[in-house]
Structures are given as structure tokens and as C-alpha cells.
């Protein structure tokens, strides 16, 4: 009898689910995706605190509206509680977290160790990222690592999981059953080659893709169309990213100061023309979700509502993208 079977916590919601046929992981996210539902994911900014309750309070805001929760990894190169620790806390009560690994902070030795450890504590999903440069954050004095990049990280996960050995060739006794994902920014010029980069990530092993903020629907639609034509949407689940704009000036600030964020001028004008800009920003987010749901080839949507996490539930409900489905959450009746 294994330790887990003998353990009194075996009925703990955090225990891994049985792996279904044809599935890679024991996680809920993969199950909902493969079942063909329109999936909603969102992210929590890890707290600047050592108090676990802060993590649970942030996660609870998403109860009943999201299928998985990303825990960012030093996003914007700012220091917070680690992604792995947030995910470990979330798995204890049964949430389905997505652990983010940014190549900025760790070399291949640390990363491989984290992947094994993550699988051991019940984390089923990992998002591979390059990460923002240290100069963007609050510790510009830090040494940037960038030993791997996101594609190399994806192939590393594949090696550990499918070949059951480390990059060095040394054997692993029990391989990590990780469901890996990565990101793509559909708006980087030349935009036509973005779908080729998407393909590269899928070739490297990405099973799901969460994109950068998508405010420009025609460009996204174009990439999705190409992805469908190339058969990529058959090979990976694509979740375009949406966000809320608190006001026209925030939108303009984001556009000018946060690299990689592309916001069409018309949208900023629309915000400027309204009295309650925050409400309008949320309305835009709802509309974006609805438009994305109608696109061919998408499997869901990823909501990044930094500092507006408490509005996520309302926005998802209003958009109707879940079709009345209520994603699992701890203590659900």
C-alpha cells in the first residue's frame, strides 16, 4: 500500500484525481478542456505576505466561475510569494492551479527540481514563460538568469515526463505528469509569423496556450483562422487573454508603458467618451469574452483583471460564456 493510500487525508479534495484515458495529468483543467467545455481561467497576484489566508481569500473570489487559477511568478519582475507556494496552498483545498515558471529567475537545475516537486504536491499544470527582464521590476540589481527560454522549458518538461530522465540523461524513477502550457502575443510584428511561433510552442509540447491581452479582435481572429487552417487548434487548447481597463488614462498608460500590450485607439476613445469609465471597461471585457467565444478554434478565455479581481465573477456571469455551467470549487454544494 502506498503512503497516500494509507494516509488519513486520502479523501482530501487536494488528492489527485484518477488519470482518465488519453489524459496527461490528474488535473481538473485538462478534464474540462478535453470534455470540450468553454473554459475560463484567471490569475491571482501572489501576496506580499507570508499569510496563507491571503492566498485563499484571493482564490475564493473566483469560486464557481473559473476552471483554473494561474499563480504568477514574480510578474513584472517584482517580488511576491512564489508561484509554487501559492499553488501548493491552492491544491491543499482542491483548486486547480497553474504554476507559472519564469526563466528569468532559475536555471535548468532549479527548474527541473521544481517540476518534479510541483508534480509531487499535486500541481498538474505548468505555464512556461520567458519572464519580464529584471530592469522592469523592483529589484533591478538582481542577476537575470535566462538559462532556458520558454520553448526550451517546454521541451524540458516533455523530456522529464515522457522520457523519464533529466536533461543530463540521468534517470527519474517516477516521471512528473504535468500538463504544460505557454503564452503567445498575437500582436508582435510581423503578425503573420505569430502563428508560426504558436506552432513552435505546440511542437515543443505546449498543450494549452494563454495569450497576452487581446483587445484587437480582427488581429486575433486572423491568427486564430491561420491556426485552425494549420490544424494547430486540434493539437492544443487556445485561451485568448482578456483584461479590464479601469479608465482611458490607465489604458493609455498600459499601451505606452507596458511592453507587449496592444490597445486599439478606438477603444481608448470609447472609454474617454463615457462618464463611468470603470464600468465601461468591464463592459468591454464582457463583450470581448463573448466575441472570443464565437471564434472558431478557441477553447476558452483567460481573464487578467489585476486589482479588479472582485469583478471577475460578475463579468463572467454577465457574459454567459459558461452556458450555465458552474466550475468546481471547494465546498461546492
Partner 1 sequence: MYKARLFATRYSRLYERFYAFSEPIILNIMRIVSNISGGRLDGLMTRMEKASKGFLFDCKMCGNCVLSSTGMTCPMNCPKTIRNGPCGGVRENGQCEVKPEMVCVWVQAWEGAERMKNGNKINDLQFATDKSVQGSSAWLNILKQREVQAKEQLTVEKAS
DSSP state letter for 40: E
- Of the candidates 287, 292, 314, the one whose C-alpha atom is nearest the C-alpha of residue 302 is 292
CA angle 168, 106, 74 (to 5 degrees): 150
Q: Which is nearer to partner 1, 109 or 120 (CB)?
A: 109
Q: Which of 91, 100, 150, 311 lies at the binding interface for partner 1 (CB under 8 A)? A: 150
- x-marked contacts with partner 1 along 186-225 as a string, rule CB under 8 A: -xxxx--x--xx-xx--xx-------x-------------
Q: Which is nearer to partner 1, 140 or 273 (CB)?
A: 140
Greatest Cα-to-Cα distance within the chain, rounded to the nearest angstrom: 66
- x-marked contacts with partner 1 along 246-265 as a string, rule CB under 8 A: ---------x---xx-x---
Tell me the closest approach of the beta carbon of residue 205 to partner 1, in angstroms.
10
Size of the site for partner 1 (CB under 8 A): 38
Q: Which is nearer to partner 1, 200 or 225 (CB)?
A: 200
Q: Is 146 helix (H, G, I), strand (E, B) or coil?
A: coil
Tell me the closest approach of the beta carbon of residue 188 to partner 1, in angstroms.
4
- Is 137 an interacting residue with respect to partner 1 (CB under 8 A)? no
- Is 78 an interacting residue with respect to partner 1 (CB under 8 A)? no
Neighbours of 229 (CB within 10 A): 11
As given in the structure block, the three cell numbers for residue 288 are: 470581448
Tell me the closest approach of the beta carbon of residue 209 to partner 1, in angstroms.
12
Distances, alpha carbon 40 to alpha carbons 111, 182, 255, 258, 296, in Å:
27, 16, 25, 24, 16
- Of the candidates 267, 282, 332, the one whose C-alpha atom is nearest the C-alpha of residue 312 is 282
Q: How far apart are CA 96 and CA 124, in angstroms?
A: 8
Using CB under 8 A, list all residues that contact partner 1: 103-104, 108, 129-133, 135-136, 144, 146-152, 155, 183-185, 187-190, 193, 196-197, 199-200, 203-204, 212, 255, 259-260, 262
Amino acid at each position: 500500500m502506498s503512503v497516500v493510500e494509507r494516509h488519513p487525508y486520502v479523501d482530501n479534495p487536494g488528492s489527485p484525481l484518477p488519470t482518465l484515458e488519453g489524459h496527461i495529468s490528474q488535473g481538473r483543467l485538462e478534464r474540462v478542456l478535453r470534455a470540450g467545455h468553454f473554459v475560463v481561467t484567471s490569475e491571482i497576484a501572489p501576496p506580499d505576505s507570508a499569510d496563507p489566508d491571503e492566498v485563499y481569500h484571493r482564490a475564493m473570489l473566483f469560486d464557481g466561475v473559473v476552471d483554473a487559477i494561474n499563480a504568477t511568478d514574480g510578474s513584472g519582475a517584482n517580488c511576491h510569494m512564489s508561484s509554487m507556494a501559492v499553488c501548493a496552498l491552492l491544491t491543499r483545498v482542491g483548486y486547480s492551479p497553474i504554476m507559472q515558471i519564469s526563466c528569468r529567475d532559475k536555471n535548468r537545475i532549479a527548474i527541473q527540481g521544481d517540476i518534479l516537486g510541483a508534480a509531487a504536491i499535486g500541481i498538474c499544470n505548468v505555464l512556461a514563460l520567458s519572464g519580464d527582464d529584471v530592469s522592469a521590476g523592483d529589484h533591478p540589481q538582481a542577476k537575470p538568469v535566462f538559462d532556458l527560454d520558454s520553448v526550451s522549458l517546454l521541451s524540458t518538461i516533455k523530456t522529464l515526463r515522457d522520457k523519464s530522465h533529466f536533461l543530463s540523461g540521468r534517470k527519474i524513477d517516477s516521471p512528473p505528469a504535468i500538463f504544460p502550457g505557454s503564452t503567445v502575443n498575437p500582436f508582435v510584428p510581423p503578425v503573420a509569423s505569430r502563428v508560426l511561433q504558436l506552432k513552435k510552442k505546440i511542437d515543443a509540447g505546449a498543450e494549452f496556450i494563454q495569450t497576452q491581452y487581446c483587445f484587437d479582435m480582427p488581429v486575433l481572429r486572423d491568427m486564430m483562422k491561420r491556426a485552425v487552417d494549420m490544424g494547430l487548434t486540434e493539437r492544443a487548447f487556445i485561451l485568448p487573454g482578456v483584461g479590464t481597463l479601469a479608465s482611458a488614462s490607465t489604458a493609455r498608460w498600459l499601451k505606452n508603458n507596458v511592453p507587449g500590450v496592444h490597445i486599439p485607439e478606438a477603444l481608448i476613445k470609447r472609454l474617454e467618451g463615457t462618464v463611468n469609465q470603470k464600468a465601461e471597461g468591464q463592459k468591454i471585457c464582457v463583450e470581448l469574452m463573448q466575441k472570443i467565444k464565437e471564434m472558431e478554434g478557441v477553447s476558452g478565455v483567460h481573464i487578467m483583471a489585476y486589482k479588479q479581481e472582485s469583478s471577475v465573477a460578475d463579468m463572467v456571469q454577465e457574459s454567459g460564456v459558461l452556458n450555465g455551467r458552474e466550475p468546481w470549487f471547494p465546498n461546492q454544494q
